[in-house]
Amino acid sequence: MTPAARVQAAIEILELMLTGVPVEKALTGWARRSRFAGSKDRAAVRDHVFDVLRCKRSYAAIGGSMSARGLMLGAVRASGNDPTLLFTGERHAPEKVNENEVGRRFESVAEEYDVPDWLWPVFERSLGSNAKPTAAALRKRAPVHLRVNLAKSDVVQALALLRDDGISAIKHSACDTALEVVEGARRISQSRAYLDGLVELQDAASQAIVAALDLQPGMRVLDYCAGGGGKALAIAARTGIRVFAHDADPARMRDLPVRAKRAGVHITMLDSDRLDQSEPFDVVLTDAPCSGSGSWRRAPAGKWNLTPERLAQLSCIQSSIIDKASALVRETGVLAYATCSMLDVENDHVVDQFLKAHCEWTLRFSKLWQVTHGTDGFYTAHLTRL
């Protein structure tokens, strides 16, 4: 495919998405209909689509409209390229740019930095002087991070095996298990290090959430909102710890047994009915459902789908989760609350409300990782009884 044909393909996919088709479904459908497209073509088209999703508001302004064509015009202009070289109307290229397809000035800071207008005050209050740099970082692609599985390997061995498969990685400062891939990221899923369970795809801040816990041999640790089980796997890689995983929707954990087997660790999965029979735990980690604002580079549709009503609903869900999880913690144990959000209404505010309602608990530690730190945005707070 020519560069112009890739742009046209992205326009066709974006047209579907603007009618409500989920991004992955739209991309998969296009790939099935376009058997002629090679792996590099599919990757390039996917990059176009996700670049647009991250920068939808600003690209619409630069491109002259919120249409799929306007968004790709904005993307081309924002990259400093001349759209007339790609929008030629020849063969599989988009039609020529007409005189009405002109850009305009940004009408707000939120539009310029690709944040919904209603959310910008919350964003600015939460991040202060780092609001603009954070919003700018969310407009770019996220780095690829790996977690070294300490149950099977160490950093030196993992780096060597990755290098043998043409994958270049470096240590990440977020924690001792974190690596950042600098070359060959598309080879990871077929690499020996990944297939043999020596490394897992996991953001460095997500790993740091686990590393911040004072985990000791003999502990019973519950991942209360396990989801796919990334943090449960990271905990289980630590020697001598009994790990339990639970999720309100057990279907989210369906791949966890296979992942645990590959990692060479054991995790006991608990449904809600068995939780009370299994308590108490030395550590209960609650990675609560949230806006996902810290991972909007990876899942940019979440930025545009979030509403004030949904954010308020999430805060209520988070408060309910931390309240229920606290009852599962041993008298001398730790309740660790976490989100992949950078918004104060999902982080400090939730913890403050819990502490006001439960005077027997106190805050021992809290930290916010931001995307400007070279990771996804994550928050954690450790609570203990007085």
pLDDT at 80 over 90: yes
SS3 for 379? Answer: strand
Token readout for 255 is 């791949």
Give 312's pLDDT tier (boundaries 50, 70, 90). very high
Alpha helices in the chain (DSSP H): 3-18, 23-33, 39-54, 56-63, 68-78, 109-112, 120-127, 131-137, 155-164, 192-195, 204-211, 230-236, 256-263, 272-278, 301-305, 308-326, 348-357
Position 11 confidence tier, pLDDT thresholds 50, 70, 90: very high
Q: Does 16 share its domain with 157?
A: no
135 located within any domain: no
Q: Give the three-class secondary structure for 178.
A: strand
pLDDT tens for 144-182 read 999 999 999 999 999 999 999 999 999 999 999 999 999
Q: For residue 65, what pLDDT is reported?
A: 95
Q: How far apart are the first and last CA of the chain?
A: 64
Residue type, 103: G
Task: Judge if 223 and 371 occupy the same domain.
Answer: yes
User: Is residue 115 in some structural domain?
Assistant: no
Q: Residue 175: name the closest of 223, 209, 149, 142 by CA.
A: 209
What is the average per-residue pLDDT within 258-278? 90
User: Which burial class, exposed, middle or buried, applies to 13 when counting CB atoms under 10 A from its CB (0-12, 13-18, 19+)?
Assistant: buried
Mean pLDDT within 303-318? 97
pLDDT of 273 reads 83
C-alpha span between 122 and 115 (Å, rounded): 11
Nearest residue to 75 via CA among 93, 96, 56: 56
Whether residue 326 sits in one domain with residue 379: yes
**Which residues form the domain of 257?**
214-385
Do 88 and 82 meet the contact criterion of CB atoms below 8 Å apart? Answer: no
190-210 mean pLDDT: 96
Q: DSSP assignment, residue 255?
A: T
Domain annotation covers residue 120: no
pLDDT at residue 84 in the model? 93
What mean pLDDT, rounded, does the chain reach? Answer: 95
How far, in Å, CA of 71 to CA of 3, rounded? 16
325 & 227 share domain: yes
Q: Give the total number of structural domains in the chain.
A: 3
Q: Give pLDDT tens digits for 346-361.
A: 999 999 999 999 999 9
pLDDT at residue 278, as a whole number: 78
pLDDT digits (tens, 9 = 90+) for 215-263: 999 999 999 999 999 999 999 999 899 999 999 999 999 999 999 999 9
Task: Write the pLDDT tens digit of every residue in 55-64.
Answer: 999 999 999 9
Q: 384: how many CB neighbours lie within 10 A of its CB?
A: 16
Residues 243 and 370 in one domain: yes
**Would you give the DSSP letter of residue 94?**
P
Instruction: Please check the confidence at residue 272 and state whether its pLDDT lies above 90.
Output: no
Q: What is the reported pLDDT for 279?
A: 75
User: Using CA atoms, how far apart are residues 61 and 66, in angstroms rounded to an integer?
Assistant: 8
* Contact in structure between 94 and 101 (CB atoms under 8 Å): no
